[in-house]
Structures are given as structure tokens and as C-alpha cells.
Amino acid sequence: LEEAVREADRRANEALPQIELSQSEVDFGKVYFFQSASRTITIKNTGKTKISFSFDARPNRVALCEPWLSVTPPNSRLQPGASCTISLQILIDKAVAWTINGDEKLSEILVLRLHRGRHYFVTVSAYYQYSAFGSSFVNLIHMEKRKTSASELNLTYSPASLISAVVAGVPESVFRISEALKQNGLEKICFDDPSAHSEFIALRNALDTGKPKNLFEACKSAFSMYDTFLTLITSFKESIIPPALQMECLRAASDINSCWSCVEKFPVENRNMFIYFIGFVSELVKWNSTANSQMQLIADIIFKRPTGDGGCLQRLKFLETCVSGSREVSKNAPSISIHYQHDADLIVL
């Protein structure tokens, strides 16, 4: 009888699903904004019966894992002796970056459940490297102001681009890429050109590290630089036009004086960003004959609204009114006071 019981136990144990994990801890090391990183783990069926497995959400959670991590495939079946490769991918997009404060360790515990078997746990970790992309332009402005204050605007310690950006009241990254385009490439931008992700990575690195100083050494394509500039503006946590004032701006869209009266009500950081960006768009329209094709996209960006969303024509009208008014400043001296009173705010942080 005892022998029969032992034999029954042995067969029952053999029937239990059993697997072998190639690793239970996955360290991605450094990860960067909008630059995917992948790792793999292997699951092998070491038992004598076919198995089913799935990655399940932890208790009190709906999602399988944090939004910055994806698991492919999330479930599968394996015959005895068979193996399956699981791909783990990390991608920090703007929505994820908005929830991260500076350089931050990311961690997750994946729960691997065997059907009619035990649970396994896989620990995933990574270190996010802070970027101007996906950050708050308000925080960047004040952080960079403190940097220059600490060095007392000494050119030996503060890059000229940082000092100029602080004086303009915009982040250094915004200043560097827009000035590079204005000095070297506005008329060269062909809006039908493709934009390579590798060029975005090179420009992001250059903006975040300060090297190379000449951005066209990092990227030869004027369109890729323009596209990266719009990506930077889009990635900021705040919209250039504050949500609380957007309806007022739309109502004022047809009148230049009413438009700038609305801009006067912006927080100083938003106002400086708006004035600087409108100046860039004005130069773009001036030097590039096909730039008008970009106006709806740019209008949607400064309002942080999806293209085609309700009110798109009014957003476009507001942008066109402000840009045309900005261009008139350089042509018509008597009207200069309307806009230069705003320019005076550029050094107020």
C-alpha cells in the first residue's frame, strides 16, 4: 500500500507543470527618452506534460505592468522540452516621462503564472536618464536660471547658449535648436522629407549633453531638426497656451490687439515661450515658401490639441493673426509698441 501511495505521488508530481527561467532579474541599465531598449528571457518546459503560462497583473492592479514596459508574448503554451523567448521592451514616451522626476530608477515585478502550477517572479529594473524632452519647460526655465545665477553669468562657466536662453526666458534646448534652424536651415526645410529616428536620437543627445555645440554636426537634415524641434515642444508637460486661457484666445483669434491682450494674461514662462516660438514661426514663414502647410500642425501644438479636434480652424486663425502681427512689427515702426511691451517681459523670470 505504501509503495502504491509513493508511486501515485511520483506520478502526480511528474504531471505538475515545471519550467526553467533563463533569468529572474533583468537590468536594462540606462534608458533614454523615446529610445526603445529590449531584453529577452527564455522559458523552457522541463516537465513531462504540456504547459500554459501567462504574465498576470499583481494583486490590486489592472494592468500587467507599468506603462513603460511591454511583454511579448504575454502568454503561450509549450510542449515538453520546448522553449519560448519572451521579449521585454522599455520605451519612455512623453506620458511616462511626465511622471518621472529627473534621473530615476524604474522597477517592476512581473508575475508569471503556470496554469495549475506555481507562480514565478521576474524583477525588471532600469535607470532613466533625464532629458529636456518629456520635461516641464517651466521647471527647465527656473533650473537653468539658477545655474546661471550660481555662476553669475560668467562665460567661463556658463555656455553662451544657456545665458542667451535665460535672457530670452526659454529653455536652452528650445533656444539652441531654433537658433540653429534660423541661422542655417529654414529655407532648406523640405516638409515632405522623411525624418530618421536615428537623427532624432543624435539631436536629443546633443541637446541634453551640450555636445556637439553645432547641432548640424549631429544631424545634417534641416527637416529632421525641425521635426525634432516640434517633438520637443510637443513633449513638454505644459501647453504653451495655458488651458484656462485657450477659449479666450480662440474668441480673440481675428483681432491682433485682442490676441496680445490674451497673451498678456499668460504666466510669464508661457508668455516668454509663446513670444519666442511665434518669432520662430514668423521667420519660418518668411524664409520658407511652403511653410504655410505647417500652420495647422503648429497651431494644434501650441494649444496641445489633436489635429482635427474641434476648434482647429480657430486655433489656426489665432496663430496666423499672431504671426502676421509679429511680422508687421519689423515692417511698421508705429505698431511696434503693441508687441515690444511683451518683449520687455523676456528678461523677467
Would you kindly state where each structural domain of the chain is located, as residue ranges? 2-128, 137-347
Cell of 306: 489633436
CATH of 2-128 given 2.60.40.10, 3.20.20.70, 1.50.10.20, 2.40.10.10: 2.60.40.10
Q: Are 147 and 158 in contact (CB under 8 A)?
A: yes
Classify strands 19-21 and 25-31 as parallel, antiparallel or unpaired: unpaired
Distance CA(241)–CA(305), nearest Å, equals: 11
Closest CA to 277 of 189, 124, 141, 168: 168
pTM of the full structure: 0.87
Q: For position 337, what pLDDT does the model report? A: 35
Point out the residues of the chain with pLDDT beneath 50. 152-158, 330-349
Q: For position 9, what pLDDT does the model report? A: 66
CA dist 205 to 34, 253, 292, 306, Å? 12, 37, 30, 27
CATH of region 137-347: 1.10.555.10
Q: For position 168, what pLDDT does the model report? A: 84
DSSP 83: E
Q: For position 185, what pLDDT does the model report? A: 80
Q: For position 27, what pLDDT does the model report? A: 98
- Numbers of helices and strands, H then E, in the chain: 14, 9
- DSSP 3-state of 105: strand
Beta-carbon contacts of residue 213 (< 8 Å; ≥ 6 apart): 159, 161
Q: For position 101, what pLDDT does the model report? A: 85
Taking residue 147's Cβ as centre, other Cβ atoms within 10 Å add up to: 16
DSSP per residue over 32-57, as a string? Answer: BBTB-EEEEEEEEE-SSS-EEEEEEP
How would you class 308 by CB atoms within 10 Å of its CB: exposed for 0-12, middle for 13-18, buried for 19 or more? exposed
How large is the greatest C-alpha to C-alpha distance in the chain, in angstroms? Answer: 109
Distance CA(325)–CA(258), nearest Å, equals: 11
